[in-house]
Amino acid sequence: METGEGAGDLTAGDGDETTVLLAGFRTWLIRERGLSAETVRCYGNQVKAFLAATGGPQAVGGLDAGRVTAFMVDHSQERNSWSAKAMVTSLRAFLRFAHATGRTLVPLAGAVPAVASWRLAPLPQCLPAAEVERLLAGCDRQTPVGLRDYAVLSLLARLGLRGAEAAGLQLEDIEWRAGEITVTGKGSRTERLPLPTAAGEAVADWLTEGRPQCGSRAVFVTVRRPYRQLTAAAIRQVMGRACGRAGLERRGAHQLRHSLATEMLRAGASLPEIGQVLRHRSQLSTSVYAKIDQDALRPLARPWPGAER
């Protein structure tokens, strides 16, 4: 099935109050916060659920701290910490927007409770190198779709791009002579990275042999009319189809990023080096990968009190 615009986008009816309010919220997020289109979409979907549960746009002016907190407590029941945190972040942003635009008389963002969890508790979910190669090998590079999907997966696996970053690439972002690529990441930060040979060849094959001629400047577009830029949701579909072809359980595109970091660590790269490749703003984001190297960690573990020596 052809990948196009991302499934799950907001689809409220034209002209209704929810559509108007969320459109204003999305515009505010872009102008005031500089968030990516995918992040804005996710925030909007979370806030849509909040509005549906609290009486809709017309009830925003009557919100108080008690109602906000009660919603969050109820919403977090039977949800994992990552899902609950997504609502916390989105709701806080919406309540700041509502106060800044006069929709609420008092600031309510502080009424959204934090979700208790230890950030570094879970291990990063990654794929073994052999499975990554199976994902790539499953693309039929005799077809335009296969060429495109192979190029997308190569950038995720060889360069550690996020799905939204791959979707957002423009033709002018690639400097072929210099062998570099400009990536627009979180917070609209742009960074120039060396383009690995294998990934560069995959992208070049797609551009010269598979990509249709069209007015879009996006690197990755649909192969059927009307030609449209792929979204982050479409990149997830690319990953999902690749898992199916490889006979693997469906995995998220972000796991290829974790896989790259894991292989770099096992090859002897330092955590600061991994952080540079993944473009982490904080060393804390990279430190989670230290837990993967269990052989290196084992000598640091203290014996259990009372255990036999």
Q: Would you please indicate which residues are annotated as catalytic (active-site) residues?
A: 162, 186, 254, 257, 280, 289
- H helix runs in the chain, sequence order: 17-28, 37-53, 65-75, 81-100, 129-137, 144-158, 163-167, 197-205, 232-246, 254-266, 271-278, 283-287, 294-297
**Which residue, 161, 241, 228, is CA-closest to 1?**
241
Dihedral over Cα of 230, 231, 236, 241: its sign: negative
- What is d(CA 211, CA 85) in angstroms, rounded to the nearest whole number? 38
Q: CA separation (Å) from 236 to 7, 65, 176, 248?
A: 10, 37, 27, 15
Q: At a CB cut-off of 8 Å and minimum separation 6, what does 154 contact?
A: 136, 198, 199, 202, 203
Q: CA separation (Å) from 94 to 22, 111, 191?
A: 9, 12, 29
The total of other beta-carbon atoms located within 10 Å of residue 7's CB is 11
Torsion angle defined by CA atoms of residues 127, 128, 132 and 135, in that order, rounded to the nearest 10 degrees: -70
> Which amino acid is present at 147?
L
